[in-house]
Structures are given as C-alpha cells and as structure tokens.
Amino acid sequence: MALSDPLGILATPLTIINRVDEAAAIEKIAGIICKNEVGRVIAGLPLNMDGSEGAQAEKTKAFIAELGRNIDVPVEYRDERLSTVSARSLIQGVRKTNRGTRYDAAAAALILQSYLDDVSRTGPSS
C-alpha cells in the first residue's frame, strides 16, 4: 500500500498487506483508509502485456469489489503492468534484506504517483 500527501502531490510506500486471509486483509485496508482519511482508493490492475484482463485481473477485481463493500470511498483501477519492474530499478541500491517486499510497496507508490501526476494534469475522474 501507498499513501499520498494531503495535497495529492507525492506518493509514499506505506506497508505490505499479505492476502493470506482476505477478510483480515480487507479489515486492515479499511482501517488504514479510515485512519488516514483516504478520499479515493487507486487499485493496481494486473493486465496482460497486450492490455487484456486475465485470471489475476479477475481475482483482483473480485477482491476490490469486496473491499468496496466495506469502505465508503470511490475506487479506481490503474494499470500496474511493469510497476514492479520499475520499482526494482529504483531500489537496486537497497540492502538485500527485505528487498522483495519493498518492491511491492514501491510499486504501489509508483502506481499511485502515476495517478496523481495524471490528476494534476487533467483533474480527477468521477
């Protein structure tokens, strides 16, 4: 997960939430949303390289639909193709311990930052 600053300018990695227990993951995410007064959720959608939706995208949409039933803020999807690759290139200098989980948090920040950059140019979508 990543959060933006209150002005919606900069995304920062926050935490990793493992979805071993989906109900517990949704509860944790909903708690973070409430605690941080989040106004919109940007969910990474794992599209295939050709832009089509595969099995993982369907699983993600099902999870986000369940999350949406537990929160009171709008949810928007963002293409997450290559976000982990980009995150890895940014983190190459990080100590070797915990590098894998840091990639996920950094990838979340990159997805959110891409959204924030687009909003600053065009305004939020409804």
Whether pLDDT at 100 is above 60: no
30-73 pLDDT tens trace: 999 999 999 999 998 888 888 888 898 999 999 999 999 999 99
Give the rounded percent of residues in the chain with a pLDDT score beyond 70. Answer: 80
pLDDT band at 112 (very low <50, low <70, confident <90, very high): confident
Which element (helix H / strand E) includes 13? strand 11-13
Instruction: Give pLDDT, residue 99.
Output: 46
Class of the CATH domain delimited by 2-122: alpha beta
In terms of Cα–Cα distance, which of 115, 118, 91 is closest to 38? 115
> In angstroms, rounded to a whole number, what is the distance separating the alpha carbons of residues 59 and 45?
10
